[in-house]
A and B are shown apart, each in its own frame.
Chain A
């Protein structure tokens, strides 16, 4: 049954065979058939002659007329055979010549036989037999036999040629058919006995299977083909023809070499030959030329199809276009080169440390940062920590342990190169974790920051030097300041003594010798005394100003309202004749230095009292408001005020906005207020209008 199915397949596949193969095979068959006919015709001719002779001799010996009938039939056959032979060899002049000669000889021979029959009839058996004994028919028969032999020999030669050609084509076709059968069997699967029993379905299945293979073979992106055991390619898929643009005729035999690059072809041929010889699979990369003439890189694989004995009987080959793969590889390589270049330029090294396997992949740049050649880590058998400067090991180890928790590593450490030089490295890495949240891999980048670090250390050193210098300078300044303060203190004391003398002795003069002076003289002495006292007050104010800059600042809760109440009580005592209303907001607690705040408040309230001197009733307010998130205190009066245009240096020492004759004063009071406020971290400002009173604001730094 399997044979029948194979035959059916063969019939089907025959239709796929190239027409030329058929023609050639048919021609070869004709040749063989023709030769066989010629041989058969010549043998028949010789037989008819022998038949005629046998019949004639039978008649001569028995006188039986039936032999004459046989004789006549033989003669008739002889003529037919002769004509047949002549026709068969019409295209062969040599054979035609032989046939012409043969006809003559046959004629001679047959006429001899007719003569003997006639002799038998006229002169009887004895005379006829005697004639046979002397008959020269023998040599004529030998000549016929020789001629026929020559003709046969010629036809045998032709037959041999024809047979060989036919065999070659038949072989070729047989291989093709066998290959198809094998492919069909591979693709379509083994044909089961049951399938075979169902003839129609079987044929249909095979057709489908074959169709499927063709579809498959033409659908795959690869080029594919099959060869016989010797590497003779007998089939290509459609893709091959599409890609190469070649025709089946061009691809016949070793036509495939024409789409190869001549540069790689020798190696391909060599490798392919070796694979065929060894019966081993063949695999190689080489370019193939596309229809447009451009070469594409291909990965070629050829697998042997083996028979039951393991012998390679066919080869099935595929060519896979790896242009895209090559481009990807090229792009990848390019990227890697670019990355490497970037790392080289940026002096960054990268690593990937697998915590499970302990494998640590480091770039050459990274190893260079440890003063090692490429692969130097593995060669030196050092672990990372061995190369870290001993002073930094504990820190680096701690950072690494923390990174296992946090997932991030960032640290700077020193390393000691094999040449004993120290270098600073800065590393950043990420720790990736597995599904169980266990650290799996640490990957990161390291940069050599020696230059930056040295610069930083330089900056630190310079800063330290600078700080030291600042400290020294501060100490010097503080000393100078103390000296100045001591000087101011000493001066103010020492200045007071002579003032006291001037005043005292002026008074002594008035008291003891006043009678001897006229009014004018006494007036002068009084002027001396009043100026002296003014200077005494000035010195006192200067002492106060210098005092607010000295001493420790305390920060304690101070009730400014109660301070103000105390101050205003004293002010009332000094000028009991004046009508003054003090409006003091109760409970104004702030953090500050009570002693200094009292000085400031005394100055502000004294000023308010002084500049309301011309009012029938002085109204002086002290309170607190929130201004822009800050608590601001104010002292407001209904006094003479001042022109805001002249307030530029209101808080500078010795600045005055009024004539001394109108409002006496040293011009130091507001400077003292400003110093007190500034020492508290606050600020002071004024709002006023000429003749409409003034408001002095101050804050004390802290948020309320």
Chain B
């Protein structure tokens, strides 16, 4: 059980971030939610750099919820950087976005995304999606072994 582990949400829209938080809470997913607002900040957090320097890099998030449209470093680039960095490459990444574009979906899978979820407008559907995600990735899924 990874309930003690952090969920990293990369989302520049505070409303969406709060709705996600609400959905997680209503879905009884008690993991800590770490929200970063752009791609650069996400990388800084993951690599314990910049404002996150000194953070223990081995404490990797249990799941990364990644939006695609992000300031500074776009979502797909963040994904590429994660998969290119041996220290963090095994972290499950779920793309959570408004885009249903084939191009984006394809590119996400090509870069090694674990799951691709489109955010529905209907909050109820959104909540179901978030609950399912949490259930699957935090409970059902066997976490990756730590990177040595």
CB within 8 Å of B: which residues of A?
Answer: 489-490, 492-494, 496-501, 503-508, 529, 532-533, 535-536, 540, 543, 547, 595
Contacts and interface: CB of A to CB of B under 8 A. Distances in A.
B123 A498 contact: no
A49 B97 CA distance: 187
Interface of B: 13, 15-16, 19, 22, 69, 97-102, 119-124, 126
Given A498-B15, A501-B15, A501-B19, A493 B69 contact: yes
10 contacts: A489-B99, A496-B119, A500-B126, A505-B15, A506-B123, A507-B123, A533-B122, A540-B100, A543-B100, A595-B102
A503 B98 contact: no
A504 B19 contact: yes
A518 B32 CA distance: 36
B18 to A, nearest CB: 8
A497 B101 contact: no
Nearest to B119: A500
Nearest to A500: B121
Contact of A493 (B99, B120, B123): B99
Contacts of A503: 121-123
B13 A497 contact: yes
Contacts of A492: 98
A506 B22 CA distance: 13
Contacts of B15: 497-498, 500-501, 504-505
Interface SS, A side:
helix
B101 A504 contact: no
A500 B15 CA distance: 9
Contacts of B100: 540, 543
Contact of B123 (A490, A494, A500): A500
B101 A532 contact: no
A504 B22 contact: yes
B119 A508 contact: no
A587 B48 CA distance: 59
Given A496-B98, A497-B15, A501-B16, A532 B121 contact: yes
Given A507-B123, A536-B120, 6 more contacts: A496-B98, A501-B16, A506-B123, A533-B121, A533-B122, A547-B101
A500 B129 CA distance: 14
Nearest to A489: B101
B16 A500 contact: yes
A599 to B, nearest CB: 12
A535 B15 CA distance: 18
Question: Most chain-A CB neighbours within 10 Å: which of B22, B97, B98, B99?
Answer: B98
A507 B124 CA distance: 8
Which 6 residue pairs are nearest across A and B when measured between Cβ atoms?
A: A536-B121, A504-B123, A501-B15, A504-B19, A496-B98, A493-B98
A504 B98 contact: no
Nearest to A501: B15
Contacts of B19: 500-501, 504-505
A550 to B, nearest CB: 9
A499 B15 CA distance: 11
Contacts of B119: 496, 500
Contacts of A507: 123-124
A508 B25 CA distance: 12
Contact of A499 (B69, B101, B121, B124): B121
Given A489-B101, A504-B22, A497 B16 contact: yes
Contacts of A490: 69
Given A497-B13, A500-B19, A536 B122 contact: yes
A489 B97 CA distance: 13
A508 B120 CA distance: 16
Contacts of B22: 504, 508
A494 B13 CA distance: 10
Nearest to A595: B102
Question: Most chain-B CB neighbours within 10 Å: which of A500, A501, A547, A595?
Answer: A500
A504 B126 contact: yes
A676 to B, nearest CB: 15
A529 B126 CA distance: 14
A496 B126 CA distance: 13
B132 to A, nearest CB: 17
A595 B15 CA distance: 34
Contact of B98 (A497, A505, A506, A535): A497
Nearest to B20: A504
Nearest to A499: B121
A533 B119 CA distance: 13
Nearest to B15: A501
A507 B126 CA distance: 12
Question: Most chain-A CB neighbours within 10 Å: which of B100, B122, B123?
Answer: B123
A494 B119 CA distance: 12
B121 to A, nearest CB: 3
A540 B121 CA distance: 10
Nearest to B67: A497
Question: Most chain-B CB neighbours within 10 Å: which of A497, A501, A505, A547?
Answer: A497
A55 B62 CA distance: 208
Contacts of A505: 15, 19
A602 to B, nearest CB: 14
A508 B119 CA distance: 17
Contacts of B13: 497, 501
Question: Most chain-A CB neighbours within 10 Å: which of B69, B101, B121?
Answer: B121
A58 B125 CA distance: 205
Nearest to B16: A497
Contacts of B98: 492-493, 496-497, 500
A532 B123 CA distance: 11
Contacts of B97: 493
B128 to A, nearest CB: 13
Contacts of A500: 15-16, 19, 98, 119-121, 123, 126
A494 B97 CA distance: 11
B69 A496 contact: no
Nearest to A496: B98
B78 to A, nearest CB: 17
A535 B16 CA distance: 18
A505 B120 CA distance: 14
A537 to B, nearest CB: 8
Contacts of A533: 121-122
A500 B67 CA distance: 14
A494 B124 CA distance: 20
A536 B120 CA distance: 8
B124 A496 contact: no
Contacts of B99: 489, 493
Contacts of B69: 490, 493-494
A527 to B, nearest CB: 14
A136 B123 CA distance: 206
A532 B120 CA distance: 11
Nearest to A503: B123
Contacts of B122: 503, 529, 533, 536
A506 B121 CA distance: 12
A449 B135 CA distance: 85
A499 B19 CA distance: 12
